[in-house]
Amino acid sequence: MGYPGRAQGGWMLLVWVAAVSLLFAEGRRVRPPRCPVGCTCTKDNALCENVRSVPHTFPSDVVSLSFVKSGFNEIVGASFVHTPALQLLLFTANTLDFIDEDAFLGLPHLEYLFIENNRIASISPYAFRGLKSLIHLSLAYNNLETLPKDVFKGMEALTKV
């Protein structure tokens, strides 16, 4: 025979251990990404100036992202897979000269893409693959002479180029 209060004390200890475990788990919760160095973020916008590459982390509520006077030469594949909520993306007055295959992969909600006043001379035929929601694309003031065949394939929502 055991002691009558011992079973009740065991349950109390178990409840106490569970409560303490939950408190520690709360303290270790993953924090949302902060605004990257070289960028300024507001509630749903981010502006990056003079950055050397596309940062991989932005706050999850950013829907508008702009790169101005930045020093990277190309937009590499899958550069924006960590920012799926983006609706507007702007690159202006940068040193960009090439857009790689699948550069905008993972942007299902992107509607406006402005790549203006850069040095782009070449675009991969699959650079815009997956941009099914894109309505407006501007490639003004670049060094483009021709565009690859079928570069706009699968972009049924596109109404203005």
CATH of domain 33-161: 3.80.10.10
Say whether pLDDT at 1 is over 70: no
- Note the pLDDT tens digit of each residue in 95-135: 999 999 999 999 999 999 999 999 999 999 999 999 999 99
CB atoms within 10 A of CB 35: 17
Residue 1: exposed, middle, or buried by beta-carbon count in 10 A (0-12, 13-18, 19+)?
Answer: exposed
Domain map (residue ranges) of the chain: 1-30, 33-161
3-state SS track over 64-79: EEEEECCCCCEECCCC
Say whether pLDDT at 78 is over 50: yes
Say whether pLDDT at 16 is over 60: no
Where is pLDDT greater, at 5 or 153?
153
The share of the chain scoring above pLDDT 70, in percent, equals 80
Q: What phi and psi, each to the nearest 5 degrees, are found at residue 6?
A: -70, -40
Q: What SS3 state is found at 14? A: helix
Say whether pLDDT at 60 is over 70: yes
Mean pLDDT computed over 37-59? 95
Say whether pLDDT at 72 is over 60: yes
